[in-house]
């Protein structure tokens, strides 16, 4: 797959095989340049040091079979080289968070506050820490969770599982994978299922922070909210999402007037303060609970579950 590109002084050229077709250039480079921060990958692409078939390309470019990607020589200092590794407490917590593992997948119940991957000043996210714990496995993120969201995060051990799951995620309205979350929403939700079908647009605030809004120019986004029970004027809900947009549940919940409890970006500041003081809610009450899908063209069904974490159970108990 790889051949030397000697005239470029250490650069190498990689020809894209069948199982990488459709992968974004930035994600492909992260796999090729193990340990490289995203900021470095984007810098290499922007500066034109990465080339596809001899020409410049954008980070979101989808690769095609036979594309030739020039990758410049990069010295990446591993955490071991730099004398750094994930803290022992984080390694222990992530080892304890494993809820499922077989020959091709590993699933964890990601704690709130842990990023899916490193970058933006974060040395170790979930994927980097799990790679330290499983050095013989070639682990790759199948999808991502917001840093503040806890719950099910799936890592692929085999490239074939990664590509099939990513294809299922790309299918229209996420029909290939069923994703369910648990959340505490502010206020009393009506009975039955409330479906929200409004487009979401990702914008940037000053400083580069992502902020998502309901906007007609955005991407189609569909969520289904169902109240499971009501506690002290709040609604404990299950949410099924058909699309996986950035901050989708949080913005859809805000849009219907029932923001996610503890959401400091899209939520109700007064309600958050009250819940923090009265029942000790110090984080976003949003948890990725289940994923259902089938691999091998539908022949191998999976139903993965991440139990609600203790600090959220305690909040529900205190609400009474």
DSSP element (H, E) containing 110: strand 105-110
Helix and strand element counts for the chain (H, E): 8, 16
CB 193 within 8 A of CB 237: no
Single out the residue of 27, 32, 26 nearest to residue 142, CA to CA.
27
CB 227 within 8 A of CB 242: no
146 in active site: yes
- Catalytic residue (choose from 5, 67, 146, 148): 146
Contacts of 281 (CB under 8 A, 6+ apart): 184, 261, 262, 272, 275, 315
Matching residue, tokens 């992530």:
94
Rounded to 5°, the CA angle 307-165-312 comes to 15
Positions marked active-site: 146
């Amino acid at each position: 797959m790889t051949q030397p590109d000697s005239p470029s002084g250490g650069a190498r050229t990689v020809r894209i095989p069948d199982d990488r077709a459709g992968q974004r250039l930035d994600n492909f480079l992260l796999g090729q340049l193990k340990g490289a921060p995203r900021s470095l990958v984007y810098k290499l692409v922007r500066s034109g040091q990465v080339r596809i078939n001899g020409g410049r390309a954008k980070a979101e470019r989808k690769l095609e079979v036979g594309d030739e990607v020039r990758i410049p020589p990069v010295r990446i200092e591993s955490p071991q080289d730099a004398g750094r590794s994930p803290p022992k407490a984080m390694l222990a917590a992530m080892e304890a968070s494993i809820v499922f593992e077989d020959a091709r997948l590993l699933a964890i119940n990601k704690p709130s506050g842990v990023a899916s991957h490193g970058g933006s000043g974060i040395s170790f996210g979930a994927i980097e820490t799990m790679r330290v714990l499983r050095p013989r496995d070639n682990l790759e993120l199948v999808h991502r969770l917001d840093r503040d969201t806890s719950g099910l995060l799936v890592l692929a051990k085999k490239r074939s599982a990664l590509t099939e799951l990513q294809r299922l995620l790309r299918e229209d309205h996420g029909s290939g994978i069923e994703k369910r979350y648990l959340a505490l929403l502010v206020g009393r939700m009506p009975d039955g299922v409330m479906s929200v079908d409004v487009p979401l647009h990702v914008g940037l605030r000053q400083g580069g922070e992502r902020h998502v809004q309901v906007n007609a120019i955005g991407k189609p986004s569909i969520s289904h909210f169902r109240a499971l029970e009501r506690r002290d004027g709040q609604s404990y809900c299950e949410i099924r999402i058909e699309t996986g947009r950035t901050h989708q549940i949080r913005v859809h919940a805000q849009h219907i007037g029932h923001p996610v409890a503890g959401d400091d970006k899209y939520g109700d500041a007064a309600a958050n303060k009250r819940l923090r003081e009265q029942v000790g809610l110090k984080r976003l009450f949003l948890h990725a609970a289940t994923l259902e899908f089938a691999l091998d063209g539908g022949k191998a069904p999976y139903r993965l579950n991440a139990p609600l974490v203790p600090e959220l159970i305690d909040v529900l108990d205190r609400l009474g």
